Amino acid sequence: MFHKNTYITRRNELKGKMSSGLILFQGNSEASFNYPDNTYHFRQDSNFLYFFGLDHPDMTAVIDIDSGEEILFGDDVDMDDIIWMGPQPLMKDKAGEVGVSKSMPISKLKELISEAISKGRKIHFLPPYRGDNVLLLTQLLDKTADAVKQGASQELIRAVVSLRIHKDEEEVKEIEYAMDIAYEMHTTAMKMAMPGVVEREIAGKIEGIAHSMGNGVSFPIILSINGQTLHNHYHGNVLRKGRMMVTDAGAESLLHYASDITRTVPVGGKFDNRQKQIYEIVLKANTEAIKAVKPGKTNRDSHLYAAEIIASGLKDLGIMKGSITDAVQEGAHALFFPHGLGHHMGLDVHDMEGLGENFIGYDENITRSNQFGLAFLRFGKEYEPGHVFTVEPGLYFIPALIDLWKSENKLSEFINYDAVEKYKDFGGIRIEDDVLVTKDGYRVLGKPIPKTITEIEETMNA
């Protein structure tokens, strides 16, 4: 973990942003997969990690905003636990590691919360997303599960977002380590993308890299020769020439900071002409959108800029037509680019989205559109120094969506449906990098991962 002063400072800043009452931070417990004792790889809650740093299950923390007191709740292990799990630090030592002076058994939590409620004090908590944490809140607060889900504190959400959204130097270093892992994962995947290989052989190999260098993957690996399905987790296809393989994969550093990178490569290591044409459009959208990053500009504008580049490239190929400005304004490009340009990234790969996407990506100046395509943009607001986010334009030929739009003759003033038909067997391309907003511009994080056609062909044929 970071030095304990990091966590003390974060908690003090949080207290300074809150009015009064108690803040309840729930850590995660182990989660079962096929029977109770067979559990998933443990993942601590990211807010708990941010403020308390402790990567152990079954802890809850309370901060008294008015008195400043902090208490860590959890139970010391007994001899049975030690026999199975080995020696574990005492709760008071765990608390001390992160600068919390008081620890108490979990059985005392209910007493403390009930007393606060009886005095009319506000209990602030973040939106719970795990069943056992919802259950604990129903017991502590004497509320139904629905009331608990509706009852998260907006004041706390806003305060947490305002802190976590700006990454400091030590956090950026962690993200860059996660990028080092991603570099190994993606260059390995590129070299393996040869005809006859099954997708799962590559997905398994790169997941192993994530585990061997860090804390495993930051989200389930997306790897497919059917990249037109945006989040394709099926890894059973045999690679064949003529297809492009999309690999959207990232890792967690040892402190759980994420990377999230996408590369698309031609199976066999050589782009054909059609692949080159489409690839260059997406590459330009990626690189130009990155160059547009600067404090004060908005990610919504970068998204629309990338959409214009895609529409204009498709117009050059005869797939789109008419005014590019009008086409993008009407959302015609979304037939081929139906998702957002990117999202914040940090302790969560989609950072803090569990607190409510619009709290992270939008504000009173920039609100979310409801137009197909633009509606999926998770981050629209102004860039600020310290933001870390993804830039991930894509271009896809999704047969079912093409058929639907064509049957409706939708936006046919901008789309040449006869030309589109010829690309229905193409698949999709996405190119994603992770970017830090600096004082006067941007920095693409991590060692550059091959991205141009020449770099990719050289890597695959090395």
Residues that bind ligand GLY (CB under 6 A): 219, 248, 260, 343
158/93 Cα distance (integer angstroms)? 31
Positions in the binding site for Mn ion (CB under 5 A): 260, 390
- Residue 167, amino acid: K
CB of 183 to ligand GLY, least distance (A): 16
Q: How many other C-beta atoms are found inside a 10 Å radius of the C-beta of residue 351?
A: 27
Helix (H, G, I), strand (E, B) or coil at 247: strand
Smaller CB separation from ligand GLY, 45 or 433: 433
CB of 250 to ligand GLY, least distance (A): 7
Q: How many other C-beta atoms are found inside a 10 Å radius of the C-beta of residue 418?
A: 10
330/320 Cα distance (integer angstroms)? 13
CB of 131 to ligand GLY, least distance (A): 24
Smaller CB separation from ligand GLY, 226 or 277: 226
Residue 378's binding partner among Mn ion, ligand GLY, none (Cβ under 5 to 8 angstroms by kind) is none
CB of 197 to ligand GLY, least distance (A): 22
- Kindly give the interhelix angle for 169-192 and 453-460, rounded to the nearest 10 degrees: 60
Smaller CB separation from ligand GLY, 18 or 310: 310
- Kindly give the interhelix angle for 299-316 and 273-291, rounded to the nearest 10 degrees: 150
Q: 257, 233, 256: which is closest to 246 by C-alpha?
A: 233
What token pair was written down for 200? 């799962």
What token pair was written down for 185? 């994962």
Smaller CB separation from ligand GLY, 231 or 241: 231
CA angle 460, 256, 205 (to 5 degrees): 30
Is residue 290 within 8 Å of residue 444, measured between CB atoms?
Answer: yes
Smaller CB separation from ligand GLY, 21 or 394: 394
Helix (H, G, I), strand (E, B) or coil at 382: strand
CB of 260 to ligand GLY, least distance (A): 5
CB of 260 to Mn ion, least distance (A): 4
CB crowding 211-231: b at 16 or more within 10 Å, else e: eebbbbbbbebbbbbbbbbbe
Q: 386, 361, 384: which is closest to 297 by C-alpha?
A: 384
CB of 200 to ligand GLY, least distance (A): 19
- Residue 215, amino acid: N
Smaller CB separation from ligand GLY, 219 or 417: 219
Smaller CB separation from ligand GLY, 319 or 374: 374
CB of 270 to Mn ion, least distance (A): 27
Smaller CB separation from ligand GLY, 331 or 394: 394
